[in-house]
Amino acid sequence: MRNREQAAKRARELVGQMTLEEKASQLKYDAPAIPRLGVPAYNWWNEALHGVARGGVATVFPQAIGTAASFDTELAERIGKAIGVEGRAKYNAAREENDRDIYKGLTFWSPNINIFRDPRWGRGHETYGEDPYLTGEMGKAFVNGLQGDGEFLLGAACAKHLAAHSGPEALRHEFNAQVSQKDLRETYLPAFEKLVKEAEVEAVMGAYNRVNGEPCCGSKTLMEDILRKEWGFQGHYVSDCWAIADFHTHHMVTDTAEESAALALKAGCDLNCGVTYLYMLKAYEQGLVTEEEITRAAERVFTARFLLGMFDETEYDKIGYEKIECQEHLALADRAAAESVVLLKNDGILPLDRSRLKTVGVIGPNANNRTALIGNYHGTSSRYITVLEGIQDCLGDQVRVYYSEGCHPFKDRLENLGLPGDRISEAVAVAKHSDVVILCLGLDETLEGEAGDAGNSYASGDKMDLLLPESQRKLLEAVTETGRPVILVNMTGSAMDLSYAQEHCNAVLQAWYPGARGGRVVADILMGEISPSGKLPVTFYYDVKELPDFENYSMKGRTYRYFTGRALYPFGYGLTYGSAELAEVKVNGQAVVRSGEIRLAGDDGLTMEALVANTGSRDLREVVQVYIKADSPDAVPNGKLCGFAGVTVKAGESRTVTVKLDRDALTVVNEAGEKVSGGARFTVSAGFGQPDERTRELTGKEAFTFRLER
């Protein structure tokens, strides 16, 4: 029942039969049954960030930041669809057993489309990176897949967390993000607007923090003025968990739970993840809310349940348990992992020639670490394949694989009775006995993640700096000092200072958190079975000293659009094993030459056609990226990503790829937060990365740049 009007009509009829108490009871995430009306209990809380999470076995895809590195919207949509199908299969099985517990429903609180504005933020790996356009496109595709295109919603997606929410985790319950209108409209809101207007996302979740003084789950500005009136949002709004209690316990904008419940409800928060809406009837008795306001919220949440077909027979009722972690979805997870890995450095050592290998050393705390495969908000896999296991399986008995954990992920020793650095000598011995070393370092969800979920409680999931833990830095130095060839596989969900590795390692791979069986894919990339094609969705800086204070929400000096320094690895950067060139570029059918000019006729949209020539000896996948900078004082200093498309090209062949440019490509946002024309002249660049000096230095390639007039 994708017909919202019909679903809303049925919701009004059902809610109209409820008492005030029954209506209020349905506004909690753990809504009780109403037997007399045939309404079963329903728990709204389910997670699906990169696979159905926290509810048992499911396909565990690469963490969201890894999917973002693919720059592949078709892939994101297929992942969303697979998650929706597995979610339905699990829902059908649980319902058959009358199990209506948490993490068993069809309302998935994903995707996280906050902007990863600062690499210290622990939850950044849940996002699609630092760019509003990339985030919006990947998020829209994920929602389209998860919600499906059937008569009913396959699952209900939720865009979170509105708005300006990206750390610090330790302060999130009391923090006030002070944001200019330009930054709000240019950076923090566009992805939400896209998911509302273009993907018709069913739910939006509010953030814990305040924005310019208003708590996000009680903000008239965000929830009523922008979300519903300006963007026309028709779905339901849910609070982050226990965020409404923060109103009176941390933000101090109200004095009581009743006042907090009333503030949230009046602003348009329909569903409470938490317990504050238990005070809704008291708020009513005190005259703080009306029955009409309670009714409105109840109608919205029941509209969602009707859209999901919870009171009907649907085309999804026969999705069987065999769809969970099926071969089709596991193959899709492998593809996602393959497209996510970013090759940051390669002096020619990769891919490895296994015919010349006799011994391989696999070293490091993440080499055999299952936790480093999965990120956070994950399901349970029936099998895990670490990088060590992937290499062992790939090489078989033909090559001797030595292994040393080398160090603890962050402690100074692995054995309590040992001395500091107790496994360094073993790691050095392994390195000295190996033809090549695969060094697996990085973090996992215990070192970067959400407050309350993460192990580094001193920062509530955030990083203090961009350095690897000291134990790992010492291991890195000891292994590279052996003089053996070293390939670093960095498994983190965020940008790190890899400057030492860039200088001392022969190759560097950014593998993110590649999914439950991602170690096999990493091994295939190392051995040349797959050419890496990922591009960085975030900037890798040298040091946090180059960045503004973490608490400062101004975009000045942040992300590739505003950063004025020299990046270690720029946004959009990533190498392959082959070599490709842009041989020809057309805009709206007009051929363009490098450093030339083109005049745009009319106000039609922009479409670019690029002929990608594979000039190497290996098949490869490349990502054409288009950046535009307006001749306007309101333009972002370094230009902005406005279009991208991946293309697979066989060795020696050429293929034309079409890039549909963002409808807002020729607009800018002024200081008042207004989207206006960018003027008459623009600089347009197309290539396999940004048109910046550092990308040229790392790739040896010049972007295809020209001027556009209208």
- The C-alpha atoms of residue 187 and residue 194 are separated, in whole angstroms, by 12
The CA distances from residue 695 to 65, 291, 344, 686, in Å, are 21, 59, 11, 13
* Helix-then-strand count for the chain, H and E: 20, 25
Strands (E), 549-680: 580-587, 590-592, 597-599, 607-614, 620-630, 640-649, 654-660, 667-669, 675-677
Report the largest interatomic distance among the alpha carbons of the chain, rounded to a whole angstrom: 80
593: left (phi over 0), alpha (psi -120 to 50) or beta: beta
Please name the amino acid found at residue 668: V
- Alpha-carbon Rg for the chain, nearest whole angstrom, is 26
Enter the tokens of residue 516. 């439950």
Q: Are 218 and 244 in contact (CB under 8 A)?
A: yes
Active site (catalytic) residues: 240
Cβ-based neighbours of 511, under 8 Å, separated by 6 or more: 66, 340, 341, 387, 442, 489, 490, 491, 518, 522
Whose structure tokens read 């200019």?
180
Helix, strand, or coil (residue 120): coil
Give the residue among 311, 229, 236 at the shortest CA–CA distance from 272: 236
Q: Token pair for residue 554?
A: 């101004």
β-sheet bridge partners, residue 575: 343
Q: Are 148 and 199 in contact (CB under 8 A)?
A: no
Given a contact cutoff of 8 angstroms between Cβ atoms, the answer to whether 424 and 442 are in contact is no
- What separation in angstroms does the CA of 123 have from each of 63, 513, 515, 536, 629? 11, 13, 17, 17, 30
Residues 6+ apart with CB under 8 A from 145: 76, 77, 78, 79, 80, 81, 82, 83, 84
Tell me whether strands 704-709 and 597-599 are parallel, antiparallel or unpaired.
Answer: parallel
Question: 291 Cβ partners below 8 Å, 6+ apart?
Answer: 20, 23, 284
Residue 586 token pair: 């057309």
- Bridge-based pairing of strands 342-346 and 359-363 is unpaired
DSSP-assigned letters across all residues of 440-462? EEE--TTTSS-TTT-S-TTTTT-
H/E stretch holding 161? strand 158-162
Half-sphere exposure of 323 (CA within 13 A, CB side): 20
Q: What is the C-alpha separation between 543 and 204, in angstroms, rounded?
A: 34
Instruction: Give the contacts of 610 (CB within 8 A, at least 6 positions apart).
Output: 582, 584, 585, 586, 624, 656, 657, 659, 686, 704
Cα distance between residue 126 and residue 119, in whole Å: 12
> In whole angstroms, what is the distance from residue 59 CA to residue 517 CA?
10
Q: Report CA torsion sign: 569, 571, 576, 582.
A: negative
Tokens for 231, please give them.
Answer: 């963007």
Edge-to-edge, what's the strand order for the sheet holding 176-177? 176-177, 210-211, 214-215
Q: Is the previous residue joined to 161 through a cis bond, with omega within 30 degrees of 0? A: yes
CA-based end-to-end distance of the chain: 44
